[in-house]
């Protein structure tokens, strides 16, 4: 269960949130921002606890309201998040409790329901955990329609209702437009909280109508103790540095064994820079992305960005700020023969573009990576 004590860091956002809950300030939806795993889900649920708690908005954890939120089955706590549509041909179940089981158009297979329940179970055990699905997910239009219908009715138990929409940037095409009115004018009895780690893709109207509360990067020591509580100790330095202040990302990096992935990708990058052979690099990339896994490729874009970042900052002598500090000496050797800072800045742009064509435009991993290195090649001698 999420409690105040379990929120890692966030002193300033917690003060703002405390004021909102105490003064009962509503009439404006709240947008929690920050990178994946930083604690947006934990904070949103924390707010729902407090808003609906029967004991003076403490989020006591003991009253019947708090207890039913902890099982995610409070009738006035409406929680929505992106999920994958698996076996769409066998539509049977509604997956959220606010969807009317008779009239709802949002029906999904048993496999989809299993994934939704797994998400809830994992988030209930650890709200910082980044839950991955086997297929890309979204928040479908039909679910948003059910949500709007539910919000238009009176709360079921008391006088208040908490609505949490996670990763609103993953609403299906058209769904965000439908939801806009709820964000613009939330009902008096409802606290509407939305979260996003990609605010740059949100509708400007949605951004301008919300009260934004950015979550802060969590300190090294807090992430360290978080990982240790999960039974991970010893060599967690790389994961914490890699996470840029996100506990969930540090845990995921550990579970995905990112050191091993980093070592293999680093070998390709180092050889590309040192030996200056495009042909060898293309062959290595073809081998690496023969049977790519979506999640692993997303990790690779992230790892590559951090490798290039380290090479870049070494050009300015910022050795202590390295993320890949465990291979410091190797990076230093490579950085000496790496392209100029101007060329590296162009590489960052090329990397961002390649990541987008893979993630958004569904270009295959091998083509995205090979195309990116060909562009790196063209830019390497520029100053
Ligand atoms: Zn309570």
Average per-residue pLDDT for the chain: 91
Q: Which of 131-135, 174-178, 303-307 shows the lowest per-residue confidence on average (mean pLDDT)?
A: 131-135
Pairing mode, if any, of strands 161-165 and 190-196?
A: parallel
Whole-prediction pTM value? 0.88
The answer for residues whose C-beta is within 8 angstroms of residue 84's C-beta and 6 or more apart is 112, 115, 133, 134, 135, 136, 137
pLDDT value at position 371? 95
Q: Distances in Å between the alpha carbon of 358 and those of 25, 291, 292, 355, 374?
A: 42, 15, 12, 5, 16
Distance 6 CA to ligand 1 centre (A): 16
Q: How far, in Å, CA of 378 to CA of 315, rounded?
A: 21
Ligand 1 centroid to Cα of residue 195, in Å, is 23
Pairing, β 211-214 against β 161-165: unpaired
Domains in the chain, please, with CATH?
4-216 (3.40.50.300), 256-379 (1.20.272.10)
Q: Which of 292, 269, 288 is nearest to 359 (CA)?
A: 292
User: Span 311-338, mean pLDDT?
Assistant: 93
pLDDT of 218 reads: 97
Task: Compute, in angstroms, the gap from residue 107 CA to the centroid of ligand 1.
Answer: 33
Distance (angstroms) between ligand 1 centre and the Cα of 190 equals 17
- pLDDT band, very low/low/confident/very high, at 25 (cuts 50, 70, 90): low
Rounded to the nearest whole angstrom, what is the distance from the C-alpha of residue 1 to the centroid of ligand 1? 12
**Residues of the chain above pLDDT 90, percent:** 71
> Ligand 1 centroid to 357 CA: how many Å?
46
Ligand 1 center–CA 26 separation, angstroms: 20
CA of 154 to the centre of ligand 1 (A): 21
Who contacts 255 (Cβ-Cβ below 8 Å, separation ≥6)?
none
Taking the centre of ligand 1 as the mean of its atom positions, its distance from the CA of residue 108, in whole angstroms, is 33
In the reported structure, the alpha carbon of residue 22 is separated from the centroid of ligand 1 by a whole-number distance in angstroms of 14
**Ligand 1 centroid to 77 CA: how many Å?**
13
Cα–ligand 1 centroid distance for 75 (angstroms): 15
CA of 301 to the centre of ligand 1 (A): 43
For residue 51, the SS3 value is helix
Distance 230 CA to ligand 1 centre (A): 27
User: CA gyration radius for the chain?
Assistant: 23
Mean pLDDT of 238-258: 93
- Ligand 1 centroid distance, CA of 60 (Å): 4
Q: How confident is the model at residue 289 (pLDDT cuts 50, 70, 90)?
A: very high
Query: Cα-flanking dihedrals φ and ψ of residue 144, to 5°?
Result: -65, -40
Rounded Cα distance, 144 and 172, in Å: 9
Ligand 1 mean position to 362 CA, how many Å? Answer: 45
Distance 32 CA to ligand 1 centre (A): 23
Q: What percent of the chain has pLDDT over 70?
A: 98
3-state SS assignment for residue 219: coil
Give pLDDT tens digits for 339-383. 999 999 999 999 999 998 988 777 899 999 999 999 999 987 754
| Beta-carbon contacts of residue 229 (< 8 Å; ≥ 6 apart) | none
**Ligand 1 centroid from CA 56, angstroms:** 8
């Amino acid at each position: 269960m999420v409690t105040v004590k379990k929120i890692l860091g966030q002193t300033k956002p917690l003060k703002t949130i405390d004021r909102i809950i105490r003064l009962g300030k509503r009439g404006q939806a709240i947008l929690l921002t920050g990178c994946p795993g930083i604690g947006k889900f934990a904070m949103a649920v924390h707010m729902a606890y407090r808003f609906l708690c029967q004991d003076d908005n403490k989020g006591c954890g003991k009253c019947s309201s708090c207890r039913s939120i902890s099982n995610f089955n409070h009738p006035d706590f409406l929680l929505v998040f992106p999920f994958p549509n698996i076996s769409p041909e066998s539509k049977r179940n509604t997956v959220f409790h606010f969807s009317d089981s008779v009239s709802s158009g949002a029906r999904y297979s048993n496999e989809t329901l299993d994934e939704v329940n797994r998400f809830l179970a994992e988030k209930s055990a650890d709200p910082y955990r980044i839950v991955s699905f086997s297929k890309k997910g979204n928040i479908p239009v039909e679910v948003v329609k059910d949500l709007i219908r539910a919000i238009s009715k009176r709360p079921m138990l008391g006088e208040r209702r908490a609505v949490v929409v996670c990763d609103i940037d993953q609403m299906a095409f058209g769904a965000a437009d439908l939801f806009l009115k709820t964000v613009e004018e939330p009902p008096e009895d409802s606290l509407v909280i939305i979260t996003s780690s990609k605010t740059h893709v949100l509708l400007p109207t949605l951004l301008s109508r919300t009260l934004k509360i950015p979550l802060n990067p969590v300190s090294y020591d807090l992430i360290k103790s978080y990982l240790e509580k999960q039974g991970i100790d010893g060599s967690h330095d790389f994961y914490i540095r890699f996470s840029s202040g996100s506990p969930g990302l540090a845990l995921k990096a550990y579970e995905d064994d990112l050191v091993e992935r980093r070592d293999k990708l680093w070998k390709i990058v180092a050889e590309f820079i040192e030996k200056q052979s495009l042909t060898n690099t293309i062959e290595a990339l073809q081998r690496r992305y023969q049977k790519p896994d979506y999640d692993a490729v997303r990790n690779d874009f992230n790892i590559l960005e951090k490798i290039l970042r380290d090479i870049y900052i070494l050009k300015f002598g910022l050795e202590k700020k390295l993320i890949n500090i465990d291979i410091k000496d190797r990076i230093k050797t490579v950085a000496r023969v790496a392209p100029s800072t101007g060329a590296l800045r162009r590489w960052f742009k090329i990397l961002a573009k390649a990541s987008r064509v893979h993630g958004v435009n569904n270009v295959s991993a091998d083509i995205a990576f090979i195309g990116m290195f060909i562009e790196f090649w063209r830019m390497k001698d520029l100053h």
